[in-house]
Structure 1
Amino acid sequence: MSTDDASLREQLKSFGFSDKEVDTYTALLAHGEAKASDIAQSAGVSKRYVYNVFSHFEERGLVEMRDHETPTTARAVDPSTVVEQLSDRLSSLEEQLEAIHEPDPDVDRRYEVIKSNSTVRKRIARLIRSADNEVNVSVPASLLPDLAEDLEAAVDRGVFTLVLVNDDGTESVPEAALQGIGDVARVWEHAGPILVCVDRRHGLFSPLEVIVGNASDQQAIGFTEDRLSPLLVGSFLGNYWPLAEEVYVHDPDDLPATYDRFRHAVLAATLHRRRGRELTAEMEVRSANSRDDYQTRRGRVIRVKQKLVRPATNSVPIENSLVVTDGEDHYTVDGPGAITETFEARTVTLDVADDRSESVSEMVARSSKLDE
């Protein structure tokens, strides 16, 4: 390997070598053993600098000084010995760092680079099959047939599932192929990135080229990360979802039903209210932006703000919330991470309101008077 090799230079610099030290050390390696004057000439540095830096190199086990001879020479320690010494030091450093590192045992964060087309396909299918309560996917049309059965199974077991199918240059997806594959399925006429987010923690992000077209040097990233997944879902719902054509909406669950994914409750409330049903909501909530204990609140759903299905009723791009009244007050509720709402909800149980109780319009009117 040339002593001018950029990769070698960068690797030595990563171990703390300066540029001049790299030049001096590689010059010595090229000579094997030499006088300071010869090294100075080869490295383009002063003879005084060579003597100074060789003193440091000797302490680091890189050279052996032969100062009992005249003139004094330096001999490069065999590189295999140097690498072994560095490995021992790194192992010792790892043990010391691990001793003071105390990660949260309840938090699992991992990342993985995936290069293989087949591995990416298998990983997406496995993620969907593993979902307990939420799946958000954006996939090319050519991949949909491989995933349809797993997506249908997710919907059947009550997993909240949003599916965005992107145009990847293949034949258009027939509407029949989208029936039942999600709670909502949309088609975008453009090619978008591949995204899978499951249960607000697990997922995969990939350029389209990893799946479609000729082999490329593009790579997919698989992750288990409770902070990244919500951000990707927010981008998915805020940037891609609104641009796509809505093709299929699944019938809502029979009520009463309990949801531990808030967006699922928002979709169900929207669809039932569009069928003319007045709803009650019993929720485990706490004040937004707090770590208060959860408490149970119950009231009537008087409005839903959402953009999961058309027409959208929200005013903020990623807003999905319920407006609820208990007859004395009305308040807004969102899921975990709520910012502008009154409460964030952990679970929501929706039911059809008792016809004998006060109507929604009466509650709203009375609540409005209280606000005056």
Structure 2
Amino acid sequence: MRVDQISTNDALVRSLRDLLAEAESEVLIATQPKMLERIEDSLKQCYESGTFIALCVYADAETAATYDYDDTATLVRAWDQELDTMLSVDHQRGVVGQLLEADEEEDVVGLEYDTERLYGMAFLQFMSQHWDEGEEVYVMDPPTLPYECVNLRDAALNTTLHLREDNTVGFDAEVRSAPAEEDEEWERLTGQLSTVRQSFVEPSTNSFFGEIGLVGYVEDEGRVTMGGHGAYFEDYEARNIVLEPMS
């Protein structure tokens, strides 16, 4: 567990840039337009690497919609609040802080952490306040299939977008029975996806807060449910998910 204080505006921006550069699969970020403009190039590089990015802009929807998100984020919502910038990366690391104005003096402007416990708290706040209260501004176009997902959240989003367009979506994934022991072996599972449980795009289809899952049909088993890392309520924990076209 590591928590470090950030003492200057430049250090805060640098911490955000560094974490974005190191992100491998997922970024959740809420920030003001003035900070967005300072880190936009880092967000673009992160997005171009294939990272799932959910961005909440602290502005009204009209102001937030003036930015071009095609190369910057997967999803964007606007929430007209004056709050700290909050960045969470890869289920583990993050930064919280706010740029000081020229006439302000503070010993600490932010914190950088590397602990799963604080990430969990940040995720709950992001989804229950920032995302739930925000107004949808931008959603990426669904990718061409086959598509290799970076994680379950990415799979849930892109399955949702394809099902909305009445596309038939197949899947190929590594799975193990949930809840799984760390040393439990993975096996391959293929089938067709029929339903998604998520709250990242409207309308929400989850049955409880924070639920993210896939529902599909497999030839030998019939209906199956899949969750991500640490899945408990689903039939399987899934990883390395590939969405495939089906005729």
**Please, what TM-score do these two structures have when normalized by structure 1?**
0.61
In the TM superposition, 1:62-81 aligns within 5 A as none
Query: What SS is found at the alignment partner of 2:116?
Result: coil
What is the one-letter code of the residue matched to 1:282?
D
Cα distance, 1:315 vs structure 2: 1.8
Q: Tell me: higher relative CO, structure 1 or 2? Use CA pairs within 8 A at least 6 residues apart.
A: 2
CA contact (8 A) 1:135 1:198 kept: yes
Q: Percent identity?
A: 27
Change in CA separation of 1:212 and 1:248 when aligned onto 2, cut-off 3 Å: farther
Cα distance, 1:310 vs structure 2: 1.3
CA contact (8 A) 1:165 1:186 kept: yes
Matched residue, 2:83: 192
* 1:270 paired to 2:160: yes
In the TM superposition, 1:106-121 aligns within 5 A as 109-121=1-13
2:67 aligned residue (160, 176, 193): 176
* 1:309 paired to 2:201: yes
- Residues 262-306 of structure 1, C-alpha deviations (whole Å, 9 max, x = no match): 101111111111121111111111122221222211111010111
- Residues 92-143 of structure 1, C-alpha deviations (whole Å, 9 max, x = no match): xxxxxxxxxxxxxxxxx42211121210011111211221221111111211
Matched residue, 1:296: 188
Cα distance, 1:179 vs structure 2: 4.0
- Residues 198-236 of structure 1, C-alpha deviations (whole Å, 9 max, x = no match): 122221122x4x445733344411112234324422331
Give unmatched runs, 5+ long, in structure 2.
Answer: none
Matched residue, 2:15: 123
Distance across 2 between alignment mates of 1:260 and 1:173: 26
Query: What SS is found at the alignment partner of 2:67?
Result: helix
In the TM superposition, 1:1-372 aligns within 5 A as 109-167=1-59, 172-206=63-97, 208=98, 210-211=99-100, 214-291=104-181, 292-327=184-219, 328-353=221-246, 355=247
Query: What SS is found at the alignment partner of 1:304?
Result: strand
Which of the pair has more CA radius of gyration? 1
Aligned length: 242
Query: What SS is found at the alignment partner of 1:270?
Result: helix
Cα distance, 1:146 vs structure 2: 1.0
**Please, what TM-score do these two structures have when normalized by structure 2?**
0.89
CA contact (8 A) 1:180 1:250 kept: no
- The answer to which structure has the higher strand fraction is 2
What is the one-letter code of the residue matched to 1:202?
R
- Residues 43-64 of structure 1, C-alpha deviations (whole Å, 9 max, x = no match): xxxxxxxxxxxxxxxxxxxxxx
Give unmatched runs, 5+ long, in structure 1.
Answer: 1-108, 356-372
